[in-house]
Structures are given as C-alpha cells and as structure tokens.
Structure 1
Amino acid sequence: MFSRTKRVVCSLATAFAAAIAFTITVPSGHAFAIDRVQCVGGENFLKIWSHLDGRESVDCYANGGTTDFGSWWVDRISTGNNDLIYYDVNGDSVRIDRWTDITFPNNPPRVRAIQIV
C-alpha cells in the first residue's frame, strides 16, 4: 500500500513540475508584431503618406504592435481596418479609429512611433 501511495505522490509531483515548467517557458496569448507590408489596392492595411528632408514615402502596415516611425512628417493616414495610435515627437499620443482617412495639409504631425491596436 505504501509503495502505491508513493508512486501516486511521485506521479503527481512530476506532473505538477512539468506544468510549472511549461507555464514558465511558453508565453501566454498570441504574440503579434507590426509588419511593413506591400501596399496593395483593395487591402485594408494601415497606409501612411509621409515626408522628411525632401524625401516622400508611402508605407503600409499590418498586424498589431508598435514600431518606430523615424520622426517623419505625416501628410495623410488611412487606417483601413486598424485602430491606430501615433506618438509625436512632442510626447503626445493620438488615437485614430479604423476606417478613417485623414490629411494634414497645413500642420502635419512629426511622428516618432506608430501602434496598431
């Protein structure tokens, strides 16, 4: 009887230790990282028109996450099916809801980072 109890206790201890090890080593939830993607017509990506030092750029992004935007001046943002927060160089953050197309013709923000939420 004692050896059977000892085996059960050892089995439970081993299972508990394995569960703890699994919990510590496997991250919880889904890990997403924002990605710059090719701008494709008909897709609902985040699309940003920007300029800096005489250069112009049009960039598209997908997936949730945050990325550096290099302090470029933003002329236009089309959020597609993404909610966006941009962080300007002055420390402010601005949220723009999905399905919004906004232009900044007179006073464009200088954006330090963007986040798809």
Structure 2
Amino acid sequence: MISRTKKAARSMAVALAATAAFTITMPTSPAFAIDHVTCRGGENYLKIWSHKDGADKVDCYANRGKTSFGDRWVDKISTGNNDLIYYDANGDSVKIARWHEISFPNRPPKVRAIEIL
C-alpha cells in the first residue's frame, strides 16, 4: 500500500513539474482579435469612411489587431480611443494617434490593411 501511495505521489509531482515547465517556457503574447463592429453614436470605435467603384462605405472596428481593408480609398478616419496604423497601396505605413480625426478631401490613400495598436 505504501509503494502505491509513493508511486501516485511521484506521478503527481512529475505531472506538476511538467505543467510548470510548460507554463514557464511558453511565450506570452497579446491576443489579436480586431473586430468589425456596428457603428454606434457615442462609442469610441475606430471609424473609417471609404469608397471603391462608386460605393461609399462606413466601417467601425474595435480591439487590437490587424485586418485587410480591401484596397479601398479612405476619405476620413476617426481613431476614437485607438492608436492606428494604416498600410497603403504604395507600401507606406502611417500611424495616427488616438482621439484624432483626419480627412483626405483631395488625395485619399488607397488602404490595404489597418492595425489597431
């Protein structure tokens, strides 16, 4: 009976040690889960006004992450409480700080992707 108890205790100790080693060695990184959300007044979402092929569109996003924007021409950006990087068709990346609103009346950028920081 004593040997079974020792074996069970030893097995439990090995399992706990393996779990601890796995937990310590795994890198921790933030979750990237940018979400396309319904635009609502009073919310502090990232809001982007754009057009493509004659169709105007308004999109809102929340949460950190990066997503494709479909090579749309951006007319206006309101960052809300989000820091933003947009990646344009020329290969440039442009960072816009939170609480800014920018309009592009004459030469709108063609945006391939957006990233909320």
Q: CA–CA distance in 1 between the matches of 2:51 and 2:15?
A: 59
2:18 pairs with 1:17? yes
Aligned residue in 1 for 2:28: 28
Of stretches 5-14 and 82-91 in structure 1, the one that deviates more from structure 2 is 5-14
Counterparts of residues 15-94 of structure 1 (less than 5 Å) = 15-21=16-22, 23=23, 28-94=28-94
Q: CA–CA distance in 1 between the matches of 2:48 and 2:67?
A: 13
Q: TM-score w.r.t. structure 2 length?
A: 0.84
Structure 2: segments with no counterpart, 5+ residues:
none
The Cα of 1:5 is off from its aligned counterpart by: 8.7
Amino acid at match of 2:28: S
Amino acid at match of 1:78: S
Question: Identity rate of aligned residues, in percent?
Answer: 62
The Cα of 1:13 is off from its aligned counterpart by: 2.7
The Cα of 1:17 is off from its aligned counterpart by: 1.5
Q: Number of paired residues?
A: 115
* Root-mean-square deviation over aligned CA pairs: 2.7
Q: CA–CA distance in 2 between the matches of 1:115 and 1:11?
A: 44
Q: CA–CA distance in 1 between the matches of 2:90 and 2:10?
A: 60
The Cα of 1:19 is off from its aligned counterpart by: 2.3
